[in-house]
Structure 1
């Protein structure tokens, strides 16, 4: 479904193109899907994390150590990392219509995405943006596919009080084996 705010209505889309973007410190996954089928994906890696301390250089900036050679390397890697992500996103937007942009990133990393030299092909307040409401440990290809499956699956939550009623509904809607039924013409 697509919401048109001007007309205050919903339109059912027959075909949906969407992008999933997972960003963590040092690793990001970007994928383009047509009707929930993976068309293209890329995993980006960068040297952004201080190895012995396990903390991203970007998060470390508020304290000290900006003038050291290692920190300058990590900061440059961070800038290149987000430029590569935006370049891939620009390619997707130029080649296809994008209906949904699902994103998972920390608040600290998002400004780097939107303030990169290669401008992000969508705005911060874009209607198509959807924040993935799930913690994702790493931005790997496997997690990206799992997120895609969960985005387009349905779930029903039944209160404990209503379980008997729901069980009755389910049992009345059991799948009927059509092959063994005689046709009644």
Structure 2
């Protein structure tokens, strides 16, 4: 079972075909997922469309966006990356690093604070670097939001780090409930520039969930879109 690339033209052909038969169609705007269920066949199809397009609920079709400024934010313990894309072109990026991880235990100072406190000098250094880490991230993000109209925020951050990000001394330039936030739906192993580029390419593609139950039917629509990848969805960062 995989998320497989599919052209938006093929998606629109499928949606047009399905519209001729009884279907239940729902759209999750937060996840950019179209859910199609055929009651008579007990089959379900999931389509996750590109951040470069939008789903028109008036005629049930995918349409290309004319222009969009997008920000990517990926935060892990001790490392983060931010990027600004102008209409699909990388305009700016920054990688952040901080001495946050306790080497012997292999866990961040934030997690350690919950059990052991911050009395030792090393702990105080890690805590200070942690605070500065989030302040620096938000300072960079603020520059994007001041200079550009931001249409989409592709975001990945573990639940442990979320309070430190949104409650930083340097305010985050968007709220946790901001409707522009799109939670990155693929696993990001580390917040590097290379992984950021891979992530952006992945969420810029339209994909369909293929399993043994629907593969044969979809094969004709996938014949020119056989690039597989990014099949895992990361549930560790739910918030």
Per-residue Cα deviation, 1:77-106 (whole angstroms, up to 9, x for no partner): 000000000000000000100001011111
- Alignment counterpart, residue 91 of structure 2, candidates 30, 39, 53: 39
Match of 2:50 in 1: none
- Alignment counterpart, residue 167 of structure 2, candidates 109, 115, 122: 115
Match of 1:21 in 2: 73
* In 1: Cα distance, 2:222 partner to 2:122 partner: 61
More strand by percentage: 2
Per-residue Cα deviation, 1:24-65 (whole angstroms, up to 9, x for no partner): 010000000012211100000000001122110001111114
Contact 1:29 1:42 in 2 (8 A): yes
Match of 1:94 in 2: 146
* In 2: Cα distance, 1:165 partner to 1:102 partner: 32
User: Residues 26 and 169 (structure 1 numbering): CA distance in 2 closer, same or farther, change over 3 Å?
Assistant: closer
Q: What secondary structure does 1:133 align onto? A: coil
User: Residues 160 and 89 (structure 1 numbering): CA distance in 2 closer, same or farther, change over 3 Å?
Assistant: same
Kindly report which structure 2 residues correspond to 1:60-99, keeping only aligned pairs within 5 A, or say none.
Answer: 60-99=112-151
Compute the TM-score of the two structures, normalised by the length of structure 2. Answer: 0.64
Provide runs of 4+ in structure 1 moved above 3 Å. 10-13, 157-171
Contact 1:36 1:148 in 2 (8 A): no
* In 1: Cα distance, 2:115 partner to 2:212 partner: 50
Offset of residue 120 of structure 1: 0.6
Compute the TM-score of the two structures, normalised by the length of structure 1. Answer: 0.82
Offset of residue 135 of structure 1: 2.1
Greater relative contact order, per chain length (Cα 8 Å cut-off, separation 6+): 2
Match of 2:208 in 1: 156
Offset of residue 163 of structure 1: 4.0
Gaps of 5+ in 2: 1-52, 56-61, 225-239
Gaps of 5+ in 1: 4-9, 174-185
More helix by percentage: 1
* In 1: Cα distance, 2:222 partner to 2:113 partner: 56
